[in-house]
Amino acid sequence: MNLKKILTWAGVAFLLFFLFSAPQQAGDLVNNILGSLQEAAQAVITFMQNIFV
């Protein structure tokens, strides 16, 4: 078994453990990540609008 597969399964196991042991914090983390992605997308849209105006 190669190292990449072991690390992948360890990461999945850690995520599942985090999800079941602290669901509120896991939900908050997902909301924060999605909020950051939304802000980044909005920044790109604003940038593109300013270029072509």
Question: How far is it, in rounded angstroms, from Cα 47 to Cα 53?
Answer: 10
Per residue in 2-28, pLDDT (tens digit) is: 999 999 999 999 989 989 999 999 999
Per residue in 26-44, pLDDT (tens digit) is: 999 999 999 999 999 999 9
Question: How far is it, in rounded angstroms, from Cα 14 to Cα 27?
Answer: 15
- Enumerate the H helices of the chain as residue ranges: 3-21, 23-51
41 HSE (CA, 13 A, CB side): 6
Answer for the pair 18, 26: CB distance below 8 angstroms, yes or no. yes
Answer for the pair 48, 41: CB distance below 8 angstroms, yes or no. no
